[in-house]
A and B are shown apart, each in its own frame.
Chain A
Amino acid sequence: MSPVPVLFYIGEVPVYSHGFFLLFGLLAGLGWLVIEARRRRWSKEEVIPITLAAFVGGMVGAKVSILFFNGFEYAPLVLNMYAMFDPRIGPGSIIGGVVGGYIGGYIASKAIGKDKCSCDAFAPAMALATAIGRVGCFLSFEDGLGKPTILPWGVPIPGGDYLVHPAPLYDMAFNLIWFGILLALRDHKWMQNGNLLKVGIAGYAFFRFFVEFLRNNRELAFGLTGQQFASVALFAVVVMYFVMNRQKLFASTQPA
């Protein structure tokens, strides 16, 4: 398998697989969010500002987290507002995007005075968007395909005579399965008021921690990458939230 950085041409203009699937993934996620929001009867006065804030927070978080993951030499790129809008510079890290999106959405929901959280609509949409976006990462052979492997599904890298893990496809497969699981869980009585979103984020963080061992990201300390530290932190925060709120969570689901 060789990389497919350009999917097709429209006239003279190339359509790159990475950018195409990134945009397609975000649009698919947005589409699913609209479907979920309607199903949950989430008013547009709340959906629009929270989604906008989550989008902006996600884009900012994805870029700023690069400082933590890749080092402060990237500061001129990720702390510069105008470079943030430079389409030649990639979107950044999904983990950072998830954290930034959550913070942005949370701030917006508080700003509009929302009492209870309808943000569970985001959970399956995020998994779907990530799954689609990862196709572009794989086709363009970007985002650190993976470490060398002798497994039969390993892919050859350009200029090398060995196979590597198709790590973006692992991510895609997990997110497709996770999307299905989140859909199955979305009406569960314990998975309301933001709990489904928290479980969705924790699930991805749990998976990401392990798949990072097969990727080529920079190790920060103890043989772990920045993404792994962030994944552990995210997972721990969600688990702590559920442990600390278990009484309230259980009580709120008891029949009156």
Chain B
Amino acid sequence: MDQDGKELMPSPNDSPDNRPDGDWRDFPARYRQQILGFIGWFVVASVLAPISFGLITFPGTLIILLLLAKSKGSKGFAGGVLIAVALNFVAALIRGVSLNAFCFIPFYYY
């Protein structure tokens, strides 16, 4: 529907054959899902950050990942969420090179 309430008919120029090369609509569905899953995780995690202290986000992410990976039509979303979480871990590992990360054990010194 447009602003005037009229049905929007697909333009003849909107068919896949008439789209320019690289048009985002021609991405395979899984890539679109991956991008949405990737961005979606950051958005949801950012929104929940001040209220949940991460204790909702952690099991929530795992449960959503499992559910998305299990359902046939939404594996791409799971891929996007997985990439987002992996990226955070990679960033932590890289930053950890210049920070003295501890391994949860009692130490002899410090």
Contacts and interface: CB of A to CB of B under 8 A. Distances in A.
Contacts of A23: 93-94, 96-97
A85 B88 contact: yes
B104 A88 contact: no
A143 B105 contact: yes
B1 interface: no
A16 interface: yes
Nearest to A5: B100
Contact of B105 (A55, A70, A85, A108): A70
Contacts of A158: 108-109
Interface in B84-110: 85-86, 88-89, 91-109
B62 A60 contact: yes
A198 interface: no
A60 B55 CA distance: 14
Contacts of A52: 79, 82-83, 86
Contacts of B62: 60
A90 B103 contact: yes
B100 A16 contact: yes
Interface string A67-79: 0011000100101
B103 A142 contact: yes
Nearest to B83: A52
Interface in A122-141: 137, 140-141
Nearest to A48: B79
Nearest to B89: A59
Given A19-B96, A55-B86, A157-B108, A81 B58 contact: yes
By size class, the interface of chain A is: 35 or more
Contacts of A84: 54, 58, 88-89, 92
A159 interface: yes
Interface in A142-157: 142-145, 157
A52 B109 CA distance: 36
B53 interface: yes
Contacts of B69: 107-108, 111
Which of the listed residues A91, A140, A160 has the most CB atoms from chain B within 10 Å of its own CB? A91
A55 B101 contact: no
A160 B108 contact: yes
A186 interface: no
A112 B75 contact: yes
Interface string A42-81: 0000000100110110011000001001100010010111
Contacts of B53: 80, 82
Contacts of B91: 85, 87
Contact of A20 (B75, B82, B97, B109): B97
A192 interface: no
B53 to A, nearest CB: 6
The 6 closest A-B pairs by CB, nearest first: A80-B54, A90-B103, A81-B54, A87-B95, A87-B96, A81-B58
Given A89-B104, A157-B108, 9 more contacts: A16-B99, A52-B83, A56-B86, A69-B104, A84-B88, A88-B96, A89-B102, A112-B75, A143-B103
10 contacts: A70-B105, A77-B104, A80-B55, A81-B45, A82-B49, A84-B58, A87-B91, A93-B104, A158-B108, A216-B106
